[in-house]
Structures are given as C-alpha cells and as structure tokens.
Amino acid sequence: MRAAVLTEPGRIDLRERPVPRPAPGEVLIRVHAVGVCGSDAHYYREGRIGEFVVEAPLILGHEAGGVIVAVGEKVPEGRIGQRVSIEPQRPDPDSAETRAGRYNLCPHMRFYATPPVDGALCEFVTIGAAFAHPVPDTISDEAAALCEPLSVGIAAVRKAGVEGGSRILVAGAGPIGVLVAQVARAYGATEIIVSDPDSRRREAALQFGATAAVDPAAGPAEPHVDAFVDASGSQAAVTAGVAAVRPAGRVVLVGAGAPAMSLPVQRIQQRELVLTGVFRYAGTWPAAIALTAGGRVDLDAMVTARYPLERTTEALESDRRPGNLKTIVEVANTCD
C-alpha cells in the first residue's frame, strides 16, 4: 500500500508499506479521508511534541474514516463493507484507567501518529473493532474523519458543564475552538463568545455557532460566563479567560501550549473555580455521530482545503494559508 511517511523533520516521502493484517478482535479499514491536525503539522516541522519524539520513520494522521474490508478472528464478517469513523486509540483493557472508563488516560495507550505508532496517512489501517464506529450514509467520508476533532470538542464541553442557558467563553478560533462553539450551541448554550486575534477566524467562528467574536486586544471581559474553554494554549488567553468566569464556574484547558504557565491562583481560590484539562476523549463517538447526522454540527462546511495522498506535504503546510480552517487528505474515495 502507499503511505505518506515522515522520514525527518520537514520531509514526507511516499513509500510502499505492507498492508497490515487485522489481529483477533480487529478490523482492516481502507482509509478514505484523513483530517490534518495541528499535532501532525508540529511533528512534521519539529519532529517532536513535548516528550513524544519521532525517532524512526512515522506515518502521521489520526483523524480518519473509511470502510471495513476485512476482519480478524472474533469479529463478525457482517462488518465487512461498513463505513466507519476511526477512534484512533488502543488502550490496555486491563489498566486501572481503562477499567474505570477513562481509557484515554491509559498509561499504556497506543495512539495513531504518536511515536512510535503509525497513523492513517496510508491506504489501510487496523483498529480494534469497538473503535471502528459505523456511520450512516448521510455522513460524508470527510465528516467521518472529523468526528475525531469533534470528539475533542465534545469532551471539552462536557467538562465545562454546558447545558441549556449556559454562557461560555472560548479562546482560539481554530478547528477545535470552532468545534467547541458548535457543540456548545448544540448542548443549549445561549451565549457563546469566541476570542481570537485573527479577524478571519473570528468571522468563521460567527458562522459556526458563536454569538459574539471578540479581539483579545480589546481587553479583559467582565466576569460573567459560566465556563471558559481554552483552545489556544496562550498564557494571555488563559489568564484573561479565568478572569471572565463567574464564581463557581469552570475552566477547561484544551490547547497545547507551553509545558508550564502562571495561573491567577488567588482568583481561582476566591471564586472557587473548577480547573481541569482535556486529554483526547473517551466515550464521545456516539454523540459525535449523532450530532453530525442530525445536522446539529456541520463538519463538511469546515473543510477549506483538500489534497491527494501524494501531496501530503502541501496538506501539512496548509495551516499557514490565511483563512484555512480544516484540511483533508483524500486517500481514497468510495468510487475507487
């Protein structure tokens, strides 16, 4: 099969790799579409993210959808031909975290495109059958792939405690910030403020559910929101966001920023704010598929660039193009 392989920082080679064989309990998926995540671009440019270092050739890509073409032992053959969205995780089923339902925190996790585990920018991948989620024909291949970042948005909104009538502030109008806004609207939030210094991104946020989009340079907001979600990783954004949260509100950190930053501890204490983080997701795919199929979240409209597998390098560089929101690599399509 063809695979787009990161061979060194800044270099992607199209190589031939053996088609993987599904182990017992796994399925083999022909990949149709892969979304480009900021982490993919970071690995491509820097060769590392924090403690995760690329030390050998690596296939990037963890936002993927496709069709099951073969199954391993103990998986019903009736699953062959199903269109699926891939939850790109392989947790240890016996870890304490997995058994408690927090499998995203499993210390033995093998996650697509996180060194040394290969990802989905190739023609075929395997995954545990329970992590290949069937999607209806009303969901496109691209939307099936984007259920992965949507799941991050769902995890963040759940942590933020959003419900009918909630007021929420979101820092960062990149793909995750826009998805948080869409999910917050679907969960009943009535005030969704998105903050971003880029005017194009602010305009996009307004198209995808934000009730207001503000420039952080305008100054800190008054403390009135029920929850703040940071999707920027910016120290300044986190500080301003904490200041905007009412007493007993919630602060959810999603954006990957510096390994450490200063926090207004006294303000957090005196307002009894709940501060937490989001690391991937667990149990989010049913909601992601339902929200997409029901039209409550529009994933297709977020796609602003498409490239074939052989142009993966251009896809990984597309985040630098003004106005780009989400890039898809079209590995195959249902007509092939």
| pLDDT, mean over the chain | 96
The mean pLDDT value for 283-308 works out to 98
pLDDT above 70 covers a percentage of the chain that reads: 98
Question: pLDDT tens across 68-95, in order?
Answer: 999 999 999 999 999 999 999 999 999 9
Q: How far is CA 320 from CA 123, 127, 325, in A?
A: 26, 31, 10
CA distance 267 to 176: 27
Confidence tier at 333 by pLDDT (50, 70, 90): low
Distance of CA 213 to the CA centre of its chain: 22
Confidence tier at 332 by pLDDT (50, 70, 90): confident
Topology of 2-140+299-330 in CATH?
A: Quinone Oxidoreductase; Chain A, domain 1 (3.90.180)
CA distance 152 to 177: 10
Q: Are 230 and 252 in contact (CB under 8 A)?
A: yes
The answer for residues whose C-beta is within 8 angstroms of residue 150's C-beta and 6 or more apart is: 179, 183, 284, 288, 291, 292, 297, 299
User: In this structure, is the dihedral angle defined by the CA atoms of residues 110, 32, 281 and 208, taken in order, positive or negative?
Assistant: positive
The mean pLDDT value for 132-145 works out to 98
Please report the pLDDT score of residue 135 as a whole number: 98
pTM for this model (two decimals): 0.96
Please report the pLDDT score of residue 334 as a whole number: 44
Confidence tier at 315 by pLDDT (50, 70, 90): very high
CA distance 232 to 162: 19
Please report the pLDDT score of residue 50 as a whole number: 86
The CATH number given to 153-277 is 3.40.50.720
The answer for residues whose C-beta is within 8 angstroms of residue 129's C-beta and 6 or more apart is: 25, 26, 27, 71, 72, 75, 79
HEC string of the chain equals CEEEEEEECCEEEEEECCCCCCCCCEEEEEEEEEECCHHHHHHHHHCEECCEECCCCEECCCEEEEEEEEECCCCCHHHCCCEEEECCEECCCCCHHHHCCCHHHCCCCEECCCCCCCCCCECEEEEEHHHEEECCCCCCHHHHHHHHHHHHHHHHHHHHCCCCCCEEEEECCCHHHHHHHHHHHHCCCCEEEEECCCHHHHHHHHHCCCCEEECHHHCCCCCCEEEEEECCCCHHHHHHHHHCEEEEEEEEECCCCCCCCCCCHHHHHHCCCEEEECCCCCCCHHHHHHHHHCCCCCCHHHEEEEEEHHHHHHHHHHHHCCCCCEEEEECCCCCC
Residue ranges per domain, the chain?
A: 2-140+299-330, 153-277
Question: Tokens 């503000």 identify what position?
Answer: 214
Please report the pLDDT score of residue 335 as a whole number: 40
Please report the pLDDT score of residue 259 as a whole number: 83
Q: Does 55 have pLDDT greater than 80?
A: yes
Confidence tier at 60 by pLDDT (50, 70, 90): very high
Please report the pLDDT score of residue 336 as a whole number: 43
CA distance 297 to 284: 14
Please report the pLDDT score of residue 257 as a whole number: 78
The mean pLDDT value for 158-178 works out to 97
